[in-house]
Structure 1
Amino acid sequence: MNWDQMEGNWKQFTGKIKEQWGKLTDDDLTRISGNREQLEGKIQERYGMTKDQAKKQVDEFMTRH
């Protein structure tokens, strides 16, 4: 799946995203609204990761879904 498909079906993927990154709130996901950079930024913030680590996790998530 590519990011355009994820963005277009954002509401359907929020549950899977919350399973992967449980520290993200519903409010976070509403604000992110399918924006990959914002998702990576929130993951960095909530989990104390580097930008590269967050990007890698999102890439791996995309590969699995």
Structure 2
Amino acid sequence: MAVSDKWEQIKGQWKQFTGSVKEQWGELTDDEIMEINGEREQLEGKIQEKYGIAREEAREQVSKWLDKHLNN
């Protein structure tokens, strides 16, 4: 399954994944998580902003999180 297909699964079930997102990136507020609404680029941007990391690092964190949740 391609990464974009995997992300479509997350996007389609975003509300089910919000708790896991909050657990992984606790600096994100509930409102921010709901605003992201399954948009990967928005999630990466918020992680970058909140944690003061490079976009590539945020992208890597999201990829690892994605693998953890869809490869079980």
Question: Which of the five TM-score ranges fits, normalised by the shorter chain?
Answer: over 0.9
- Establish whether residue 64 from structure 1 lines up as the match of residue 61 from structure 2: no
Aligned length in residues: 65
Superposed displacement of residue 20, structure 1:
0.3
Which structure is richer in relative contact order (CA contacts within 8 A, separation 6 or more)? 1
Which segments of 5 or more consecutive residues in structure 1 lack a partner in the other structure?
none
- Establish whether residue 26 from structure 1 lines up as the match of residue 27 from structure 2: no
Superposed displacement of residue 55, structure 1:
0.1
TM-score (norm 2): 0.88
Which segments of 5 or more consecutive residues in structure 2 lack a partner in the other structure?
none
Q: Distance in 2 between matches of 1:29 and 1:19?
A: 11
The alignment's C-alpha RMSD in Å is 1.0
- Please tell me the residue identity of whatever aligns with 1:31: E
Superposed displacement of residue 30, structure 1:
1.2
Question: Structure 1 runs of 4+ off > 4 angstroms?
Answer: none
Structure number with bigger Rg: 2
% of aligned pairs identical?
A: 55
